[in-house]
Structure 1
Amino acid sequence: MGATALVTAMSALALGSADDARAHGQLPHEDVVEIVRSYEIPAGRMSTALNRLADASGVLIVYDAALTSALTTRGLSGVRTLSAALDALLSGTRLGYDVAADGKSVMIVLAQNDKGVRGDAGAETLPAIDIGAEQNAPAARNGGGRGRGAGDPSRETGYARSSTASATRTQTPLIDTPQSVQIVPREVIRDRQILNVLEAVQNVSGVQADNSGIFYDNFLIRSFSSGYGRSYRNGLRVDGTGGTVDMAFTDRVEVVKGPASMLYGRIEPGGFVNVVTKRPQEDFAATLDTQFGSWGVSRTIADITGPVDAEKTVLYRLMGVYDRADSWVNFDHRNNGAAALYLTFRPTENFEANVQFEHYEQMKSIRPGQIPVALLYDDSGKPVTIPGFNDQPAKLSRRYNQADNEYYSQFPFVVHRTVYAFDWTWRFADKWKVTNAFHYIDAHENQNAIFTSGFDGVTASRSFYVGVVKRYQLSTNLNLIGEIDTGPVHHELLAGVDWFHYGDDWPSTGWLSSFPALNVWAPSYGGVGPLMHSVADAGRDNTLFASRWQNFGAYVQDQIGFFEDRVHLLLGGRYDKAEESYGATYGSDSASCYPFCSPYPMQRNPDTTPLSPRVGLLVKADPDTSVYGSYSRSAGTNNGRGAAGDMFAPERGLQWEVGVKKLWMDGRLSTSLALFDLRKKNVLQADPFNPAFSLAVGEVTSRGVEFDVAGQLTENLSVIGSYTFNSVKITDDNDNGNVGRRYYGAAPNVGSLWAKWDTAPGAREGFEFGAGFYAMDRRYGSNDNSWYMPSYVKFDAMAAWRTVIAEHDVAFRFNVKNIGDERYFENSNGYNTAAYGAPRTFLGQVSFKW
């Protein structure tokens, strides 16, 4: 029997069986359709939504692909019965459904007047149909493919993700979002054995790791720094942090590009990185992973999740990780541990709450291997490259370290950090809900470091800093989200408020600028321990600094769909106010003025409450193709005070963006192309009449093209890749001589590609093979363009084997990073040093699942 005839026969059998059961009053399928589950299916293609409903419910859904190919759905969100979920997805169409007698399959039918069929009404004889989804089997849940998820990206699998809430604060399909957003899912993190978020973003166009923050994770997004160790955790701001969330607790990394002040307040205009944590699962699962490799890497992760009660109203996830390693750099080590407990509460169909706790204990070195650049300075204080060094960092061994062998043993960088977080959602009507998210982060750090402060070609001058910082921050938002129709126009509305507060105190700080110099070509280490202790003792009661930042905003957004959902208009605006306070000793008696020594509150000026608008227009040529354009403005934080004591206006960002997004192969592969023009204004530049102060007159312009691809090319082949062309130049610098020069650290061309071949996708047993590259063009290490870091290409590879041992899934994975042992510089500090990237590195992993 041919495939068409077989499917037609299955359709007739399903309908006939349902009629017979109904005639005899036996309706076992009624119990099935009334089972309550949680669904998160975004608006989008009807066929994709039905597939996700089938995956989430475990029920076979059969439909005619010809009937659904041109249909879209508004999706659904919340805890519902299967029948209610089907009603919501099919609302507004001429489709209905019928459930088979055994309750294991659902037939989507064209509605007419047969009251026996659920949905809009009636049924019409269907042509030959395709099977759009199959029941979940254990094998399908363990592998790639199209995923279990119902629109929630955390429940999807594979390299592609279909939706995100990061860009709009509502779960919106990426193809309907008029903005460039890319996602690095957990499968890529696993396959490439990514150990930190700085490595994860190398899979995304327009983003580079930027370690100029010394102690923190910084990113260059569309060539602009992300800020003071700033990233986002589940959509809430985190400042002054390195390693926002351990990769063991991370589900995915989302990158939203372009100004985002409309929803996120004071933010750098390039965009932001949002780390999304894992969530508790309804079914019990336990994994134990062990990683090992070059430089003494030893990393163990335990992850247990499941329901607390039989009704699955309370779910839990308990995770722990221990991570220690040395380094290819002398005297560089880490010894870190972390634990997390996540709980989900679902007491009713309309309410859900999540509570999270994380604690980190870290001991590590900071910024090892600051390879110096040989610079002299002219009479005006501008750097001049020493001849013979070819305008590049000194060609030192990758093992070189400006620190000392007594540094890590006596003055390591120590972090104690605890995160308390919760979020809740109350659905008080069919398409209306209130959401609230909150986190509080408490951190105590010993920030100790030996820095390179100058280099004459032979000798590097060094400085030593020792300090204690107490840091706390809280971030929260409250949102009202709903949908209404005004005639043929559909509105998805968002109104909300958010608040962020940050504070830090530096109660014990010491600084020695005349630390013993080092001959970089023949370094001699040791004997500096007593000196470091004397600096620490002298600064024990010295309060160097204290600061408080807070930001309040109110915002509204309307995502408007019309012309049968083929045109989407996004309108949004934000009212915002910020306040900053600083205090510093600068030679005063710290004991008498702590915690605010000589404080000067950063009072608001007329431009501290600007409107941050966003407008986006997206047109869908078909359900899988969209073309968009957008305009947005952003506001950054205040920059400080000028020589006259007047407040600087905050930095402002302005961007135009146009792009094309395309889904291929029934949504399994996605591509996006974006062109942008982004300007950052009010950048601080030197005041020529008061060298110790600045003026907010600078401007930097970033223009570029970005391309991203992610998903499956075939059933066996998964890919993720990107390409960036970015021309970023200084367009105003108050006559300091840098106009027309490139912004530091930003390469004009960057590309990456990773591909994985799975011999048995979705099966518990099989082999995987992966390979990829990362290529970066030459880029300047400072804004005066006096020196540069050469271009490079590095290659990676992976092999893995999945098998079953004693009914348990076991996987063995082996990765080689930088196969050719390419010698390259990863980033600069924007001034006078650069940092080498890792040489050839081997990583192995053994994973057990219960």
Structure 2
Amino acid sequence: MSRSLVERLSYAPLCQFRFNRLILKHVLLAPLALGVATVHAQSAPMILPQTQIVADPVQDTASTEGSDSYKPALVTVGKVAAQPKDIPASVTTITRQRMDDQHMTSVDEALRNTPGITAVTYGDGTSYFQSRGYPAEVQFDGLPANNGLQYLPQFDLALYDRVEVLRGPAGLLQGFGNPGGTVNLVRKRPQDEFALTGSVSAGSWDRYRTAWDVTGPLNDSGTVKGRFGFAGEDENAFVDKTGSDQGLLYGSLAFDLDPDTQLTVGAAHQKIRLDGFDYGLSTYTNGSFVNAKRSGFYGTDWSHADTDMTELYADLVHQFGNGWQNRTAINYRTSDVASKYGYVDGPVNLDNTADYWLQRQHDRYRWLGVDSYVSGPFELFGRTHELMVGINYASTHQRSVSGGTSGGVVDVLNINQPNVDIPYTFGTTSDTSQVGVYGQVTFKPTDGLSLIIGGRQNHYESSRQTRLPSVQPTVDDPTQNKFTPYAGIVQNLGYGLSAYASYSDIFTPSQAFQSTFNGSVLKPRTGKQAEVGLKGDWLDGRLGASVAVFQIDDKNRPIADDAHPTYWVAQGQARTRGVETELTGKLLPNWDVQAGYTYLQSELRGQAAVAGTAQDAEEPKHLLKLWNTYRFQAEPLNNWRVGGGVRAQSRTTRNNTSYQGGYAVIDGLIGYQINPHYDLALNVNNLLDRTYYARVPSSYYGLYGDPRNATLTLNVKF
């Protein structure tokens, strides 16, 4: 009988792990010790137990781990697992294989390499992400968490099996939010068979990293499975005087309560420390870029940010039979960020002097999501159709305090600020909540035609309160109730092709602080998206392609009232049109590719619009992303692989005041499989050392993109 996970782990040496550079360097020896221990544990013949496997269409069948593919068999961003070709929308998945091949370790890196997504680096170790002219929303394993992605730290990518991205409005799934798209971060889950994977790496700027993951049955019958892992990283950035270290611990347990019911519970905890982080430079007062070196540091020696993140989750899946199932899930995430820093406060004078600001702040966030739905087939008029109905609740709480003081006028090329005490002088709390009932019916009048009709009735509440300098009464925003419809059609054309069309409504609640001069609250933002496209699926599902054309119309956008400062008017209108194409999968059994091109044309419209002004100037009109890996099969190169890719974009700007021309960044990979258990890979980013801005400077700070850098990784797998 095979050993359980607990028995196998008893062979691994006990060690204490601390996430700092000294320990990480010594951990480079860990794969050898663990490899020897695991080989010893596997020396006896292994016979897997006879186990009743509980199928979970929502998660397990869509898992990309171990698939060795860039193309997922199924996606779950629509809750019920479905093939990408059957979804009447643009959907992209960054699989576990793609992450590993390109040595992605953060959500930022995954989205930066996702077709159709623009990732912009922010100075505090976070980023913001745009799609189709709007900020992207986020789901944590299918549970919506509005305002949980932008400008916020995220868990290490070691926690996730895949990153799914649906571009365009997702009101049916997300509730109220932005129409740009939704990112679904899907966690790894306990597996039925024992597996131990790990990696250690060293790279440019003294970057050291290790990540280990173990999963498998915890009892002889296999009805209890577990997964445990950690990841630690320590590095100095290419910017002078900056660095970071972080550590992640996670674990989950899956219980087969009976042959038809599975309960999964899990938790994750991560700490992040940024030292000397820097927001970069703005432009000169005449609008030109400051002529400064890429590695220049414009913060303070004592700048730092400490992040403490925790996540608890559970889901219960029950199979009723005849294809019907229920999934009920809950997710609770907290993020605590304390920081103190300094930055260049506005444009730089031509003599390289500028105002300087010192700031201290502490933000606490809490997200709670609960979701329950049933789905399955039903018979009508002699044909089989599909139904999904559900209800979910999501709430967000934020408590923030901050304070600041002037650092005077400084020479930006020689900043030396003392570490002064900065009291908190401003504080607020805010709460939002929404509850929605949603449903979707997929009618199949013929074998090749699917008609999809759905909608969501949503109830939204929000409030805010000033806590400093004095406690003020709570201000409640207007309660919003809105039905959001959705419709789509998919027609199988044969030869692996399908055509689709879809329509989505947009609704974003108004906020109480955005009032008109006469005291009324602004009208809610409304709009719609229409999308048509073609999808292809060939080579038994190993290769997929898509092309989409879309238009988003957005009305009642809040804009500042020029005649009455601090007040607003709902005159803003915008139209975004575009084309998206993508190719993902295996061109050959040993050649994986993921490529996407986006053409985006966005403009502000209406009374307050300036002709030709883009709705989101930081998103390029042309965006190309490509990555491919080729694994040699013939000797003497049969253990080698090579990979490469490019991220290219056209001209962009911030605030239409400073512009960056188009550029391309090329990345590369060379790898060697030492044996079935050990693999060595060298990833080189920005191979040609292209100088570019990851965030274009404007009246406030901008940041250079990373220069050429390399990482050598030893991967271990048993």
Which band: TM-score by shorter chain? Answer: 0.7 to 0.9
- Mapped partners of 1:366, 1:486: distance in 2: 64
- Mapped partners of 2:543, 2:492: distance in 1: 17
Deviations 1:776-797 (A, max 9, x none): 1111211xx2221221111111
Given the superposition, is the C-alpha separation of residues 371 and 653 from structure 1 closer, same or farther in structure 2, using an over 3 Å criterion? farther
Deviation at 1:461, TM superposition (A): 2.0
Given the superposition, is the C-alpha separation of residues 370 and 719 from structure 1 closer, same or farther in structure 2, using an over 3 Å criterion? same
Letter in 2 for 1:434: N
Confirm whether residue 552 of structure 1 aligns to residue 568 of structure 2. Answer: no
Question: Which of 678, 682, 697 matches 2:556?
Answer: 682
Letter in 2 for 1:261: G
Question: Which of 31, 37, 40 matches 2:53?
Answer: 37
Letter in 1 for 2:393: W
How many pairs align?
662
Given the superposition, is the C-alpha separation of residues 849 and 736 from structure 1 closer, same or farther in structure 2, using an over 3 Å criterion? closer
- Mapped partners of 1:570, 1:704: distance in 2: 23
- Mapped partners of 1:366, 1:497: distance in 2: 45
- Mapped partners of 2:504, 2:125: distance in 1: 31
Q: Contact 1:369/1:836 (CA < 8 Å) preserved in 2?
A: no
Deviation at 1:619, TM superposition (A): 0.3
Unaligned 5+ segments in structure 1 are 1-31, 42-76, 79-148, 376-384
Question: Which of 188, 206, 213 matches 2:116?
Answer: 206
Question: Which of 452, 456, 459 matches 2:353?
Answer: 459
Match of 2:373 in 1: 479
Confirm whether residue 156 of structure 1 aligns to residue 67 of structure 2. Answer: yes
Given the superposition, is the C-alpha separation of residues 171 and 188 from structure 1 closer, same or farther in structure 2, using an over 3 Å criterion? same
Match of 1:818 in 2: 686
- Mapped partners of 1:366, 1:276: distance in 2: 32
Question: Which of 783, 791, 798 matches 2:669?
Answer: 798
Given the superposition, is the C-alpha separation of residues 312 and 366 from structure 1 closer, same or farther in structure 2, using an over 3 Å criterion? farther
Deviation at 1:828, TM superposition (A): 4.0
- Mapped partners of 2:219, 2:51: distance in 1: 17
Matched position secondary structure for 1:844: strand
Match of 2:640 in 1: 767
Match of 1:403 in 2: 299
Matched position secondary structure for 2:281: strand
- Mapped partners of 1:547, 1:836: distance in 2: 34
- Mapped partners of 2:554, 2:608: distance in 1: 17
Q: Contact 1:682/1:697 (CA < 8 Å) preserved in 2?
A: yes
Deviations 1:231-264 (A, max 9, x none): 2221123444534331111111110011001121
Match of 1:381 in 2: none
Deviation at 1:827, TM superposition (A): 2.5
Deviations 1:733-771 (A, max 9, x none): x5364664452201000102111111249x998211111
Deviations 1:478-498 (A, max 9, x none): 112121011243221111111
Larger mean Cα displacement after TM superposition, 317-326 or 686-695: 686-695
Confirm whether residue 613 of structure 1 aligns to residue 613 of structure 2. Answer: no
Match of 2:42 in 1: none
Deviation at 1:40, TM superposition (A): 5.7
Q: Contact 2:557/2:573 (CA < 8 Å) preserved in 1?
A: yes
Match of 2:478 in 1: 603
Matched position secondary structure for 1:363: strand
1:186-201 residue pairs with structure 2 within 5 A? 186-201=96-111
- Mapped partners of 1:283, 1:163: distance in 2: 21
Match of 1:781 in 2: 654
1:155-554 residue pairs with structure 2 within 5 A? 156-166=67-77, 168-211=78-121, 216-226=126-136, 230-238=137-145, 239-240=147-148, 242-365=152-275, 368-375=278-285, 385-386=286-287, 389=288, 393-407=289-303, 412-455=304-347, 456-457=349-350, 458-506=352-400, 508-512=401-405, 514-520=406-412, 523-529=413-419, 531=420, 534-535=421-422, 538-539=423-424, 542=425, 544-554=427-437
Confirm whether residue 638 of structure 1 aligns to residue 510 of structure 2. Answer: yes
Q: Contact 1:764/1:802 (CA < 8 Å) preserved in 2?
A: no
Given the superposition, is the C-alpha separation of residues 625 and 741 from structure 1 closer, same or farther in structure 2, using an over 3 Å criterion? closer
Q: Contact 2:253/2:264 (CA < 8 Å) preserved in 1?
A: yes
- Mapped partners of 2:559, 2:611: distance in 1: 11
- Mapped partners of 2:122, 2:570: distance in 1: 22
Question: Which of 453, 466, 472 matches 1:584?
Answer: 466
Unaligned 5+ segments in structure 2 are 1-47
Matched position secondary structure for 1:621: strand
Given the superposition, is the C-alpha separation of residues 555 and 633 from structure 1 closer, same or farther in structure 2, using an over 3 Å criterion? same
| CA root-mean-square deviation | 2.4
Letter in 2 for 1:509: S
Letter in 2 for 1:603: P
Match of 2:708 in 1: 840
- Mapped partners of 2:314, 2:668: distance in 1: 39
Deviation at 1:398, TM superposition (A): 0.9
Given the superposition, is the C-alpha separation of residues 653 and 460 from structure 1 closer, same or farther in structure 2, using an over 3 Å criterion? farther
Confirm whether residue 667 of structure 1 aligns to residue 541 of structure 2. Answer: yes
Match of 2:605 in 1: 731
Structure (1 or 2) with the greater helix fraction: 1
Deviations 1:539-586 (A, max 9, x none): 2xx45111111111111111122212x00111101111111111125x
Q: Contact 1:491/1:559 (CA < 8 Å) preserved in 2?
A: yes
Deviation at 1:172, TM superposition (A): 1.1
Given the superposition, is the C-alpha separation of residues 739 and 576 from structure 1 closer, same or farther in structure 2, using an over 3 Å criterion? farther
- Mapped partners of 2:689, 2:564: distance in 1: 48
- Mapped partners of 2:125, 2:202: distance in 1: 25
Question: Which of 748, 753, 758 matches 2:631?
Answer: 758
Q: Contact 1:653/1:681 (CA < 8 Å) preserved in 2?
A: yes
Q: Which has the larger radius of gyration?
A: 1
Letter in 2 for 1:308: L
1:95-106 residue pairs with structure 2 within 5 A? none
Deviation at 1:175, TM superposition (A): 0.9
TM-score of the aligned structures, taking structure 1 as reference length: 0.74
Deviation at 1:373, TM superposition (A): 1.8
- Mapped partners of 1:323, 1:849: distance in 2: 20
Deviation at 1:366, TM superposition (A): 8.3
- Mapped partners of 1:570, 1:155: distance in 2: 32
- Mapped partners of 1:683, 1:469: distance in 2: 28
Matched position secondary structure for 1:832: coil
TM-score of the aligned structures, taking structure 2 as reference length: 0.88
Matched position secondary structure for 2:389: strand
Match of 1:115 in 2: none
Matched position secondary structure for 1:262: helix
Q: Contact 1:203/1:721 (CA < 8 Å) preserved in 2?
A: no
Deviation at 1:199, TM superposition (A): 1.9
Letter in 2 for 1:572: G
Deviation at 1:509, TM superposition (A): 2.3
Q: Contact 1:414/1:447 (CA < 8 Å) preserved in 2?
A: yes
